[in-house]
Chains A and B, each alone.
Chain A
Amino acid sequence: MRKKWKWSNLYLGLLILLMYLPIVIVVVFSFNESRLSASFTGFSLKWYEALAADRDLKEALVNSIILGAASCLLSAVIGTLGAVGMARVKYKSKGMMEYLSTIPIMIPEIILGMVFLVFFSLLNLPFGMTTLILAHTTFCIPYIFMMVKARLVGIDKSLEEAALDLGATPVRAFFDITIPLIAPAILSGSLLAFAMSFDDVVISIFVNGPRLNTLPVKVYAQLKTGVTPEINALCTVILLVIVLVLGISALAGKKTHKSKDGE
């Protein structure tokens, strides 16, 4: 029994190692003195200095954060309201609409990107932040919708009914009872949505317009021209941000767990 356990752990460990290998390599070579990435010649911070001086990159970073935050917020509101409402209404169109609203994550991203491009130019929308936010919100909604929907199945309906019986208005019951119960799902859905938006290249390339760059679009354009240590440094910085966000969300998750246990 003991031996078996060890073999499976070895497999898990090896695959995890493989998953981290490219990331570790990027980080390690961001501190490389040499421009070439064949071998590590010495420790240096000069690529980070070059990065700090690059204004285009800073702009792209700000764009990515605004885009991620806006589309994650918008989709959290629409997705959560939609999931809560869908669990209660009995429209004939409900099943159909649920299916339609999840289409964005069912079809290949490239189709979505292309569709947005042709559709937005039909509407004569100027390509830029607006089109990016609209596109990203569309593909972020399903993540939140499905997470909240799954969570709603697990919660006790009688709690909300009790609140209504005690005289709370539906709006009050929603904010006081339902929202706290589904908060973990909203949070994890939103974080996933933010990550998806922050990471997206395929759709952004189609709708970002000629002047506006997001970070992944910028990195993508640079990658095609070649490997530079500056990209390594940039990637390391992005990595650091993501690890920090994950850490914070993990801490927040722990806290909600604890407060729940306390009740």
Chain B
Amino acid sequence: MEKKRKKKPGLFLTVLPLYVFTICFVVGPLLYMIALSFATNGNGSDTIWRFTLDNYKKIGEPVYLESFVQSFQLAITSTVLIMLMGYPFGYFMAKLSEKGKKRMMLLIMIPFWTSSLIRMYGWIIILQAKGVLNGILMKLGLIQEPLKILYSYPAVVVGMVYALLPFMILSVYSSVEKMDWSLVEAARDLGAGRARAFFDVTLKLTLPGLLTGVILTFIPSMGLFFIADILGGNKIVLVGNVIQDQVTRGSNWPFAAALAVVLMILTSLMIWLYRKITHVKDLEGFF
């Protein structure tokens, strides 16, 4: 014990930068934002420090409420699609040979590392009216008129799914990878069918990975306003778009702060629920 106590001042120095940085650039700004959400908006970007709840009341206005509904709808749609596509992928990937796993990991990481902007841009080329997809479809004679996919809801969903799929794949993969296969074998030996063994054992054991993937896709999908911006034109207005608009063009910072606070409460609720369900403290799997 004596020895340990002696080491403490040095140890304090190791965590000091993290403490200072976290307090100065995470806690401080967040508290300031919360305070700001109760302040009154002045002219331009001036803020008048007079307590008000108007900013929160304003969220109830149909225009802004609509953006929340639309964000949630989009997030749920994309997350479900990502789950359906990503789970089998992560599962099959974990069953590959060691060499195959490594190769597959690299194959996934390269697009993941590539600027999401570049990839969205690729989708613009594919989906636009005079783009690749329409070109192929028209050559095949399947359609006469070019389809208007770009700047529509489906295009935004495609973009979201595409941008966030790797998160799901990686978290499912790592949880299937470290799963104890003997449990599945035991279930099979005890007479469970392939499907039964999968749903009763494999799926349950890999649920934390799946839920990690859900969190990792659901949360960013509420904030990726630029995907809605690029692929959806001006038609799809998400909370992120409203916030960005209010901060830059609208210059109503207190209102933007109130929107952000509500969005943050909603996402924290999701994380809290997730922890409650899985009893996992960290975002296990991905890290």
Contact = CB atoms under 8 A, between A and B. Distances in A.
Contacts, number: 247
A15 B85 contact: yes
B21 A138 contact: yes
B282 A146 contact: yes
Given A19-B111, A122-B32, A219-B115, A110 B243 contact: yes
A16 B130 CA distance: 25
B264 A109 contact: no
A206 B30 CA distance: 16
Contacts of B13: 85
A84 B10 CA distance: 12
Contacts of A25: 122, 125-126, 132
Nearest to A27: B122
Given A22-B122, A108-B263, A239-B114, A82 B15 contact: yes
B142 interface: no
Contacts of A67: none
Interface in B3-21: 7-8, 10-15, 17-19, 21
Interface string B121-137: 11111101011101100
A109 B22 contact: no
B109 interface: yes
Contacts of B120: 22, 223
B193 interface: no
A100 B93 CA distance: 34
A246 B106 contact: yes
Contacts of A11: 88-89, 92
A110 B125 contact: no
A20 B18 contact: no
B80 interface: no
Contacts of A137: 21, 25
Contacts of A47: none
Interface in B96-127: 96, 104, 106-126
A207 to B, nearest CB: 11
Contact of B18 (A82, A111, A195): A82
- The prevalent SS among residues of B at the interface is helix
A261 B271 CA distance: 40
A147 B287 contact: yes
Contacts of B253: 118
B152 interface: no
Contacts of A103: 26, 30
B267 A106 contact: yes
A134 B114 CA distance: 23
Most buried by A among B10, B18, B225: B18
B230 A224 contact: yes
Interface in A38-73: 38-39
A132 interface: no
A109 B121 contact: no
B115 A117 contact: no
A12 B101 CA distance: 11
Nearest to B218: A108
A59 B148 CA distance: 36
A248 interface: no
Given A82-B15, A86-B15, A106 B22 contact: no
Given A138-B21, A227-B125, 8 more contacts: A81-B15, A84-B14, A108-B267, A119-B25, A170-B7, A201-B116, A202-B225, A231-B121
Interface of B: 7-8, 10-15, 17-19, 21-22, 25-30, 32-33, 36, 45, 85, 88-89, 92-93, 95-96, 104, 106-126, 128, 130-132, 134-135, 162, 165, 219-220, 222-226, 229-230, 239-240, 243-244, 247, 253, 256-257, 260, 263-264, 267-268, 271, 282-283, 287
30 contacts: A8-B95, A12-B93, A22-B126, A22-B162, A24-B122, A37-B132, A77-B17, A85-B11, A85-B14, A89-B11, A101-B18, A101-B26, A108-B219, A108-B240, A110-B223, A111-B33, A111-B243, A114-B33, A118-B36, A119-B28, A119-B33, A137-B25, A138-B26, A150-B287, A199-B114, A220-B226, A223-B124, A238-B115, A242-B110, A246-B113
Interface of A: 8-9, 11-12, 15-16, 19-26, 29, 36-39, 77-79, 81-82, 84-86, 88-89, 91, 97, 100-101, 103-104, 106-111, 114-119, 121-122, 134-135, 137-138, 141, 143, 145-147, 149-150, 170-171, 195, 198-199, 201-202, 205-206, 215-216, 219-220, 223-224, 227, 231-232, 235, 238-239, 242-243, 245-246, 250
